[in-house]
Chains A and B, each alone.
Chain A
Amino acid sequence: MKRKVLLALSAILLGGMLLTGCGKSNEIELFSSKAENKEILQQLVDEFNAEHPETKIVISAPADAGTVLKTRLAKNDIPDILALGGDNNYTEVQSAGVLEDLSAENFTSQVQESYLQMVYDVNADKEQAAYGIPYATNASGVLYNVDKFNELGLTIPTTWDEFLDVIKKIEAAGEQPFVLTYKDNWTGLCAWNSMAPDLQPEGFTDARQAGTTTFAETHQEIADKYLEIISHGQEDFMGTTYDDGNKAFANGQGVMMINGNWAINQFKTANADFNVDMFAFPASNDSAENYVTSGVDVLFAASKDSKNLDVAKEFISFMLEEENAKTYIDNQFAFSAVKGVEQEETTVAGVKSDIAAGKVANFPDHYYPAGFDLASLLSEYSLNYVNGMDNIENQKSFLANCDEKYDIANVD
């Protein structure tokens, strides 16, 4: 009897080893740091897999992907293909020297130069080499409920004063200007990212890195306007999650949201008839300074030590095919980095011309060091505001904190 139990146990053990051992050999992992595009990515991957029956690409898109990715770096367990944002997560991986240089590949020439440059900018030491191929780009700004804007007779603001005026009118009509979703603290970054490029001094990123300037000296106006914005958020905006907020907004709560094109997909899921558009956040009173914040939302990279490097390259090339690039951006309401692929959706029409005209600024936080957790600082800043802390005191400690944490992250 007992021998049988032992036998059964060892059989299961062996079986498990085989099961976990197999499966792996021809599976290629595509690590994605975005959850919003899982479905469309899966659809395209399925197509690719159908054409390549000898291998199978498997997507993994974990929550808190940045941390997971770095955990895997520590384990030296690099996914075969990576789909990352053009941000400091990419920088971390790239600077670890585990990515293949794709500059010489044919498909690299299909991509718009300006976006390649954005990727170069976040390479370690700004190396001019394509370790990542930009694929889709995003736009961050103000999302607004078109029907309500029309109903209230509002026009799209192009300066900060006009923006305040719009907010006033909305409040006078008894509506809530903004739906904010600060329970997920990354959403607090959106307003910051939209304002900082318009208002921070030229060359701030480099100067701050060199330590010749500080947040406290240069970011007061941004911090001021940040408080102004959250003072028009809904009650309990600190407790509202991104998912709940998107759903509520799509169903008619509030008039504006400060977020990016990536949220539109969720609005449409919650309410297919929702009429939404976007405009550039008018942070400055000089409308020429009000850029659309746009960055590389998805770039593809390949692990240089992957056994399946060839397939990985083939996959990237497949994704860059015009038809597939179009399918992707249509689903995501995003913009393509592939030459000649254009976004025609009306939901982002308000920022399309700016993007086409190149009136864009990259996300400032893509240039901050990886350990600098601005989202938490902004969340704390907002929390203090909600708790009724004196604004001047709050702002002072917030900016001082920014500098302190930046320095810590910059060194380590």
Chain B
Amino acid sequence: MKKKKQKVNVLYYVVVGAMALLFFNFHTVSFLKGIFYSFTDWKGYGDWNYVGLRNYLHMFEDVDTKNAYLFTFQFTVITTVLVNMISLILACALNAKIKFKNTIKAFYFLPYMLGNVIVGFIFNYIFANLIPTLGKACGIQILSTNILGTNHAMWGIIVVTVWTACAFNTLIYIAGLQAIDIDVYEAADLDGASGWKRFRYITFPLLAPSFTINMVLTAKGFLMVYDQIMAMTEGGPGTTTTSIAVLIYKKGFGGGQFAYQSANAVTLFVIVVAISIFQLRILEKREEQIR
């Protein structure tokens, strides 16, 4: 009853309403238009017709789309695991009693600041020229070819992604580690737990919240992988490194499949929502169990 009486200043309505309207016009309308296009055969210009579900049905037969999804999922899983593992190790190391702590930390965070495209170009050179030269000099067969020209090209992209992504995750793990009460460790020391055991039974469970955040944030980001691929392989060789985002761009604009790739984008949206919900559920449960 009392709530009804409280008056809300008009200004709030105006500002929030205006922003919401703008947001609706550019974000939501774009999104809805995308859904609309997915039921047409529009090329992005010229005439168009309704085609019903044809674009969606076509997705199931199209090898390119299937490969893009396979690549993206594979890439996301491997990169998420690697990034979190390396970050966790780095964070533990950085949290130890080390000299020049702040300087070292500052250096490890540096890759986060650099744009993906340029980092991609720099590594492109490393993979294409530096590593093969070194590989040949040392007589190591595997290293003497440009990995981006083989069907292990994905690993080249993974290396670069891990390189840039670890910085952010490490920071969050460090924040998580610092929140752990020192008394807990002292108690553990008394109980004789140390090394791996201490990590497994004390540190890791206490880090669970940071772990949840990192898994969700990183996985979602990697599903959209785009910049690095455009800078390094443009989806090749063949279509081995074509991610969903790259496919949408390249075929949606360049390949005259505007409408079809709109359907792909809508599908991607559904998948992202499903994964996000699923991930949160699972991780929340695990967090509870560990506790």
Contacts and interface: CB of A to CB of B under 8 A. Distances in A.
A400 to B, nearest CB: 10
A239 B46 contact: no
Nearest to B249: A67
Contacts of A68: 253
Contact of A387 (B58, B128, B151, B256): B151
Given A67-B250, A96-B46, A183 B148 contact: yes
Contact of A373 (B43, B148, B255): B255
A381 B251 CA distance: 20
Given A95-B46, A412-B41, A70 B253 contact: yes
B45 interface: yes
Nearest to A370: B256
A129 interface: no
Given A67-B254, A373-B255, A376-B239, A239 B148 contact: yes
Contacts of B128: 183, 239-241, 244
B44 A236 contact: no
Contacts of A373: 255
Contact of B45 (A73, A381, A409): A73
A92 B256 contact: yes
Given A92-B256, A244-B128, A73 B44 contact: yes
B254 A70 contact: yes
Interface in A67-117: 67-68, 70-71, 73-74, 76, 92, 95-97
Interface in B198-229: none
**B41, B129, B145, B249 — most chain A CB neighbours (10 Å):** B145
A96 B249 CA distance: 20
A391 to B, nearest CB: 17
A96 B238 CA distance: 29
Task: Classify chain A: how many residues form its interface, as a range.
Answer: 35 or more
Contacts of B144: 235-236
A240 B146 contact: yes
B145 A235 contact: yes
A388 to B, nearest CB: 11
A236 B148 CA distance: 10
A66 interface: yes
Contacts of A240: 128, 146, 149
B118 to A, nearest CB: 14
A371 B255 contact: yes
B256 A412 contact: yes
Interface string B125-153: 00111001000000000001111111100
A244 B147 CA distance: 15
Interface string A218-246: 00000000000000000111111100100
Contacts of A207: none
Given A64-B254, A70-B253, A182 B149 contact: yes
Given A71-B253, A376-B239, A408-B62, A238 B150 contact: yes
B260 interface: yes
A78 to B, nearest CB: 10
Nearest to B129: A244
A405 B260 CA distance: 14
A145 B249 CA distance: 39
Contacts of B63: 401, 404
B176 interface: no
B234 interface: yes
**A66, A68, A235, A383 — most chain B CB neighbours (10 Å):** A383
A390 B43 CA distance: 38
B45 A239 contact: no
A67 B252 CA distance: 9
A239 B132 contact: yes
A238 B255 contact: no
B240 interface: yes
**B146, B259, B260 — most chain A CB neighbours (10 Å):** B146
A121 B54 CA distance: 31
A238 B254 CA distance: 23
A409 B240 CA distance: 20
Interface in A49-64: 64
Nearest to A78: B45
Contact of B235 (A182, A236, A376, A405): A376
Contacts of B129: 244
Nearest to A93: B45
Contacts of A370: 255-256
Contacts of B260: 412
B34 interface: no
Given A185-B238, A239-B148, A373-B255, 18 more contacts: A67-B253, A70-B253, A70-B256, A74-B253, A76-B45, A95-B46, A97-B46, A183-B236, A185-B237, A236-B132, A238-B237, A239-B150, A244-B129, A371-B256, A376-B238, A379-B238, A383-B240, A412-B41
18 contacts: A64-B234, A67-B249, A67-B253, A71-B44, A182-B237, A183-B146, A183-B149, A239-B148, A239-B149, A239-B150, A240-B146, A370-B255, A376-B239, A379-B237, A380-B240, A383-B237, A401-B63, A412-B41
The 10 A-B residue pairs with the shortest CB-CB distance, nearest first, are A239-B146, A239-B149, A380-B238, A74-B44, A67-B254, A238-B149, A236-B145, A371-B255, A71-B253, A371-B256
Interface of A: 64, 66-68, 70-71, 73-74, 76, 92, 95-97, 182-183, 185, 235-241, 244, 369-371, 373, 376-377, 379-383, 386-387, 401, 404-405, 408-409, 412
